Amino acid sequence: MKKLLDYAEDIRQNHPQIWKKGGNTQGNDSYDTLKEIVNRGHFEEKDRAFVQTWNAWKARHQNHTNIAGMVASLKWLAVPEVGLRKMKKVITEEVKKEK
């Protein structure tokens, strides 16, 4: 999960226009929570309700294949059904368009 977080953070910091294409305020807030959990290295009791929300939103973004869906999945640190490689490919293509 740490590698996915590192990738997400790179997109967030270096490609904010792409980051904005996926998700909403809840996705951004949840990303911040997930970042804290991953950096901590474990879930705590206080995270119990969040984990339920996380599982629901991961499932919601499972079948997305466009850039908005891929970035939304990334914000939830979720790998869509098409896989991590495809998700990164879609995002990388968008990064190339940025230049």
Tens-digit pLDDT profile for the chain (99 aa)? 899 999 999 999 999 999 999 877 888 999 999 999 999 999 999 999 999 999 998 888 888 889 999 999 999 999 999 999 999 999 999 999 987
Dihedral sign, Cα of residue 52, residue 54, residue 55, residue 56 = positive
Q: Provide the pLDDT for residue 3.
A: 94
Q: Under DSSP, is residue 15 helix (H, G, I), strand (E, B) or coil? A: coil
- Total domains present in the chain: 1
The domain in which residue 72 lies consists of 2-98
Residue 71 burial (CB < 10 Å; 0-12/13-18/19+)?
buried
Q: Provide the pLDDT for residue 26.
A: 87
Q: Provide the pLDDT for residue 78.
A: 92
pTM of the model: 0.90
